[in-house]
């Protein structure tokens, strides 16, 4: 994993950006919202990081460690989160529209009211994740594991659950995932 001290974005160390963002979140002088749009944060060690309200549009977070990170209301549109570790992270009301979370580990993640419109979630593990009231229109969950995930009140129009494990998932009343045609 790469340390936040070893990563630079727009001429600043990531650790400096995170410190200024922490001051911003606390409402302290010298605080500045983290602008990590387009940043290369691949394999970054961001476990437990506070990225509440951060702008991470189009960021490369491939393989990043975001366990228990606070990403509530973060803007992660079009971000690359392939194989990222998001276990027990808080993504309440985060915008992940168009993001790629293929093979991500997101067990126990809080995704209440998050937006995943047109996102790629293939082969990801969302066991025990809370998708309540999330926007999942057009999301690609092919081959994903959603065991015991909460999908109540989620907006699922056009979502592809082909080959996904929905066993014991809490689904909206009357929801039936499309069954692939038998050969």
Q: Tens-digit pLDDT profile for the chain (183 aa)?
A: 999 999 999 999 999 999 999 999 999 999 999 999 999 999 999 999 999 999 999 999 999 999 999 999 999 999 999 999 999 999 999 999 999 999 999 999 999 999 999 999 999 999 999 999 999 999 999 999 999 999 999 999 999 999 999 989 999 988 877 555 444
Q: Which domains does the chain have, with CATH numbers?
A: 36-173 (2.160.20.80)
Longest Cα separation, the chain: 64
| Partner residues linked to 60 by β-bridges | 40, 80
């Amino acid at each position: 994993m790469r340390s936040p001290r070893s990563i630079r974005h727009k001429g600043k160390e990531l650790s400096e950006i995170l410190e200024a963002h922490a001051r911003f979140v606390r409402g302290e002088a010298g605080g500045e919202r983290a602008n990590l749009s387009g940043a290369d944060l691949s394999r970054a060690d961001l476990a437990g990081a506070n990225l509440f309200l951060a702008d991470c549009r189009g960021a490369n977070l491939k393989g990043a460690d975001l366990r228990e990170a606070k990403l509530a209301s973060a803007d992660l549109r079009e971000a690359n989160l392939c194989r990222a570790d998001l276990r027990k992270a808080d993504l309440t009301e985060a915008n992940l529209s168009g993001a790629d979370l293929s093979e991500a580990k997101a067990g126990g993640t809080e995704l209440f009211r998050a937006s995943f419109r047109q996102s790629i979630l293939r082969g990801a593990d969302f066991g025990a994740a809370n998708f309540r009231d999330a926007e999942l229109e057009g999301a690609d969950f092919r081959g994903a594991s959603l065991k015991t995930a909460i999908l109540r009140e989620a907006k699922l129009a056009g979502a592809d659950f082909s080959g996904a494990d929905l066993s014991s998932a809490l689904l909206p009343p009357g929801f039936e995932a499309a069954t692939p045609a038998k050969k």
